[in-house]
Amino acid sequence: IVRKQLFSSKQNTDLEKHRAKLMAKGLPTKKPIIGVEHIILVSSGKGGVGKSTTADTDVYGPSIPLMMNLHDTPLLNDKNLIMSMGFLIDEGSPVIWRGLMVMQALEKLLRQVDWGSIDYLIVDTPPGTGDTHLSLIQNIPITGVILVTTPQSAALQVTKRGAVMFQKLSIPIIGLVENMSSVTCSSCSNIVKIFGEGTSILASEINSSIIESFPLHQEISNTTDKGTPIVIKDRESPESKLYINLAKKVVEFVGNKC
């Protein structure tokens, strides 16, 4: 029986090695983006949970141009390098692309954009766990991923699936950002937890932590809709300080990792 168990264990090990070799075949070689030191993915299981308030670039657009109040046609340098897909479509027009078109657009964003020399590129990914995420992971070195969710059960369930995917692909999870965690009553100033404490449970299940928790606050929504993020309009507000603290924690994570 002992011999049989040892043999079975060796078989499993050999099988895992064989699978790893097969998985590695045909995969693209990861290449860094010129001028970019660290690449951070911002991901979520579902849409509408607040990823774009912390991101610099997006594939599907046009969230970032709206939030940054940018409406001009993209400028091209002498190498014909461009920026966000939000600049490449008319306002109000949907982006109706099939998988191959998305991959081609992603390749342009990775290799045909003049990012300059920057320490951090924060990438706002589409909701879910699709081809875009896999292509990013296969093509460029990812420093880590921030998982954004609300405490709502539907959001937490799909965020957990995303976390498992990143863990299987050996992408470090920086932590969870909890949006719409609470609301403050305008009459009595009591803080009300709208959706409960589910994010803390999820953080424990994926062996991570909540690196910042943001309330449902009208000023956050108003400032982003007007193209002036709250950290620009009112840097000293409590909400701005939360975003600044989030950035510091990401920098701290990267420093510890490196």
The tens digit of pLDDT for each residue in 123-156 reads 888 777 777 888 888 889 999 999 999 998 889 9
Q: Mean pLDDT throughout 230-247?
A: 89
165 or 18, which is more confident:
165
Judged against a pLDDT cut of 70, whether residue 158 lies above it is answered with yes
Judged against a pLDDT cut of 70, whether residue 92 lies above it is answered with no
Q: How confident is the model at residue 72 (pLDDT cuts 50, 70, 90)?
A: low
Judged against a pLDDT cut of 90, whether residue 177 lies above it is answered with yes
233 or 14, which is more confident:
233
Terminal Cα-to-Cα distance of the chain (whole angstroms): 46
The total of other beta-carbon atoms located within 10 Å of residue 3's CB is 7
Which long-range contacts (C-beta less than 8 Å, at least 24 apart) are formed by 163-167?
163/202, 163/206, 163/208, 164/206, 165/129, 165/133, 166/43, 167/206
Q: How confident is the model at residue 59 (pLDDT cuts 50, 70, 90)?
A: very low
Judged against a pLDDT cut of 50, whether residue 58 lies above it is answered with no
- 4-50 per-position pLDDT tens digit: 454 455 566 666 665 566 555 556 678 888 888 999 999 987 777 77
CA atoms within 13 A on the CB side of 108: 16
Question: Can you give the pLDDT at residue 40?
Answer: 93
Judged against a pLDDT cut of 50, whether residue 207 lies above it is answered with yes
147 or 229, which is more confident:
147
Tell me the C-alpha distance between 162 and 86, whole Å.
Answer: 25
Taking the complete model, does pTM exceed 0.75, yes or no?
no
Look at strands 144-149 and 191-192 and give their pairing.
Answer: unpaired
Give the torsion sign (CA, 157, 140, 171, 66). Answer: negative
The CATH number of the domain covering residues in 33-256: 3.40.50.300
113 or 212, which is more confident:
212
Scan for tokens 């409960």, then name that residue: 196
- Sketch the domain layout of the chain as residue ranges: 33-256
∠40-49-93 over CA atoms, to 5°?
90
